[in-house]
């Protein structure tokens, strides 16, 4: 099992990962609330050379599904730039949320926009690292909340080598049962490239995206252990910082 956590980009990501005993770390390459362009990381060489695996999470503003040009165009651009920055850190992928359309808009249009993202980039030689599409928790017009919608999305993007990131908090809060979830999603996507292993502050199908530590959340920790056992990809905790070391220790003990 390759296990780790999300770490801050603006300190010492590898040092922090080492302190946790992580095999894998996740980080941003820009302030996640901004449209900033990524700048070279001062510790890029060290991050790239480290035996700790790295994955990059893209910024939250990105919505490549959007029908609004003024949001979709910068989103496409940001995905390409952040994938390039991820490659410079030796990352194995860039996590991008599935995004959404508005409630008066057609889901199929958002799916087409995802397809166009890959199509257009293919003409430029593809993305610098694999794009890992993450399931999200909320909204009824989200591209990747309900697994039947993920099926339709995958029909459109699977050919381009899109990867998948399964977030357990988002699945739970989004109304997808965790029992047997690894098999269910793999039947749709054929792959799980990364797991975001989080408990939830909110109830099943609440639609809320609020992560919790494993001991404090509404998800039975045993269910989360079963997800870890069923998956063979890397696992990253995105739980509140104060409890991350304890969450890691719990998984090391119970997953083995």
Residues at the interface with Zn ion (CB under 5 A): 167, 196
Give me the phi and psi of 59, to 5 degrees please.
Answer: -75, 155
Q: Could you tell me which residues come within 8 angstroms of residue 200 by beta carbon, excluding any fewer than 6 positions away?
A: 169, 172, 173, 206, 208, 210, 211, 212, 217, 218, 219
Closest separation in Å from C-beta 238 to Zn ion:
5
Q: What backbone phi and psi angles, to 5 degrees, belong to 128?
A: -70, -25
If the CB atoms of residues 69 and 191 are measured against Zn ion, the closer one turns out to be 191
Nearer of residues 72 and 97 to Zn ion, judged by Cβ:
97
Distance (Å, rounded) from C-alpha 52 to C-alpha 18?
8
Q: Minimal distance in Å, beta carbon 45 to Zn ion?
A: 28
State which residue, 33 or 68, has the beta carbon closest to Zn ion: 33
Closest approach of Zn ion to the CB of residue 196, in Å: 3
Residue with nearest beta carbon to Zn ion:
196
- Closer by beta carbon to Zn ion, 50 or else 135: 135
By beta-carbon proximity to Zn ion, the closer residue of 41 and 57 is: 57
> For the residues of 193-243, what is the DSSP string, one character each?
-EEE--EESS-TT-----EE-TTTSSS-HHHHHHHHHH--S-EEE-S-GGG
Give min distance, CB of 194 to Zn ion, in A: 9
Q: What minimum distance in Å lies between the beta carbon of 169 and Zn ion?
A: 7
């Amino acid at each position: 099992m390759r296990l780790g956590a999300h770490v801050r980009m603006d300190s010492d990501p590898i040092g922090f990962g080492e302190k946790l005993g992580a095999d894998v770390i996740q980080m941003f390459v820009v302030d996640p609330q901004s449209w900033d362009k990524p700048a070279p990381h001062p510790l890029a060489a060290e991050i790239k050379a480290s035996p700790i695996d790295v994955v990059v999470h893209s910024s939250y503003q990105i919505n490549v599904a959007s029908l609004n040009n003024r949001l979709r165009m910068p989103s496409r651009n940001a995905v390409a730039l952040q994938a390039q920055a991820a490659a410079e850190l030796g990352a194995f992928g860039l996590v991008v949320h599935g995004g959404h359309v508005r409630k008066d808009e057609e889901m199929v249009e958002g799916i087409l926009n995802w397809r166009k993202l890959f199509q257009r980039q293919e003409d430029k030689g593809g993305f610098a690292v694999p794009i890992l599409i993450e399931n999200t928790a909320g909204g009824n017009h989200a591209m990747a909340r309900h697994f039947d919608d993920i099926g339709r999305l995958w029909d459109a993007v699977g050919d381009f080598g899109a990867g998948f990131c399964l977030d357990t908090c988002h699945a739970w809060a989004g109304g997808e049962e965790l029992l047997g979830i690894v098999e269910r999603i793999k039947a749709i996507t054929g792959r799980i490239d990364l797991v975001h292993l989080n408990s939830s502050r909110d109830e099943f199908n609440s639609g809320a995206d609020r992560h919790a530590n494993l001991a404090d959340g509404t998800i039975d920790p045993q269910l989360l252990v079963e997800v870890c056992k069923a998956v063979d990809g890397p696992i990253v905790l995105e739980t509140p910082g104060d409890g991350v070391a304890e969450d890691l220790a719990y998984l090391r003990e119970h997953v083995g």
